[in-house]
Amino acid sequence: MAKQYDVLFRLLLLGDSGVGKTCLLCRFTDNEFHPSHISTIGVDFKMKTLLIDGIKVRIQIWDTAGQERYQTITKQYYRRAQGIFLVYDITSERSFQHIMKWASDVDEYAPDKVQKILVGNKSDEVDKRQVATEQGVKLAKAYGMDFFETSAFTNQNITETFTRLAEQVLAANKKDLDLLRVSVNDEINLAALEEDEGLCDNAGGDQGKSCWC
């Protein structure tokens, strides 16, 4: 059997408050759904291991506060992400409109190589739909992203969405990984590697405190 090695990625869930970021995460990692909405005030994360092409990919998924007043703070977390979910609520036209703003923030604050995916959540709430699937498809195309409509409630497309983004991140970093693969047989912590780089261009280095490796 070929030697397995681990890769650690950091993925970030972004989108307006109430679009269901925390629910997506809970469904994906614990296969649970809690319908009541408790705003995430802060930044939470969970771990999940996926097997992609025989590579054990550990992903650390960060769930951020969606409320506007926290955005100046949450932006600092973008820098450390390799992949970003831009999430809106198909029953909220407003949350869809805001994707533009989220995307431009990502362009500004996230690393250039960051992979993005567009997610329209709450696809089970057909009666309340305000954003047509085609609108999502169109926007995703305009941004050159993949697009999924998901439902944390019915578990529709959840694993697919997370796996797809993880695959994209893996593909985007494949070159680096292959180089490392030759020499390293321990866990390859891509997130940590980039963390180090990050620290170099941030002389303060305070971010080190708030990182999780």
Partner 1 sequence: MDQSVAIHETLEREENCKIVSFVLESICPLMYCRIFIYTHRRMAITADDVSLEDIVPISLDFAFVCVLPIVGHDVRIRVSYQEEELELRLPFGSHSRLFLSEVNRAWSGRSAQLSLYKIWTKILLKPMQNSFNLHLPLNSSRGQGISSREERGDLVRSSSHRPSNKAQILAMPQFGLRDNLIRCELLKNEDLYTYLEEFRYFFLGTYNVNGQTPKESLCPWLRCTHNPPDMYCVGFQELDLSKEAFFFNDTPRELEWTKAVSEALHPDAKYALVKLIRLVGIMLTFYVKKEHAEFISDVEAESVGTGIMGRMGNKGAVAIRFRFHNSDICVVNSHLAAHIEEFERRNQDFKDICSRLQFRQFDPTQPQLTIMKHDVILWIGDLNYRISDLDVDNVKELISKKDFETLYNYDQLKRQIDEEAVFVGFVEGEIDFQPTYKYDTGSDKWDTSEKCRVPAWCDRILWRGKNIKQQHYQSHMALKTSDHKPVSSLLVTGVKRVNSEAYKKTFEEIVRNIDKMENECIPSVTLAKQEFHFRDVKYMQHQAETLNIFNDGQVPCQFEFIQKPNELTYCKPWLTANPHKGFIAQDGSVDIELEVFVNRSTASDLNSGKDQIEDILVLHLEHGKDYFISMSGNYLPSCFGTSIHSLCHMREPIQDMPPETLRELVKMSPTENAANPEKPLDIPKELWMMVDHLFRNAIKQEDIFQQPGLKSEFADIRDCLDTGIPDSLPGSNHSVAEALLLFLDALPEPVVPFSLYQQCLESCSNASQCEKVISMLPQCHQNVFNYLSAFLRELLKNSASNRLDVNILATIFASLLLKSPMKQDFSEKRKTQEFFQHFLTEAGH
Considering only 27, 48, 80, 122, the residue that binds partner 1 (CB under 8 A) is 48
Considering only 9, 45, 85, 148, the residue that binds partner 1 (CB under 8 A) is 45
Applying CB under 8 A, does 93 fall inside the site for partner 1? no
Closest CA to 67 of 24, 13, 15, 103: 15
- By three-state DSSP, how is residue 10 classified? strand
- By three-state DSSP, how is residue 100 classified? helix
Applying CB under 8 A, does 78 fall inside the site for partner 1? no
Q: Residue 175: which region, alpha, beta or left (left: phi > 0; alpha: psi -120 to 50)?
A: alpha
Applying CB under 8 A, does 33 fall inside the site for partner 1? no
Applying CB under 8 A, does 42 fall inside the site for partner 1? yes
Residue 127 C-beta: closest distance to partner 1, Å: 34
Applying CB under 8 A, does 212 fall inside the site for partner 1? yes
Q: How far is CA 45 from the centre of its chain?
A: 11
Applying CB under 8 A, does 49 fall inside the site for partner 1? yes
Considering only 53, 72, 183, 201, the residue that binds partner 1 (CB under 8 A) is 72
Applying CB under 8 A, does 205 fall inside the site for partner 1? no
Calpha distance 103→24 (Å, rounded): 19
* Contact footprint for partner 1 (CB under 8 A): 1, 3-4, 6, 29-30, 41-49, 51, 56, 65, 69-70, 72-73, 75-76, 185-187, 204, 206, 209-210, 212
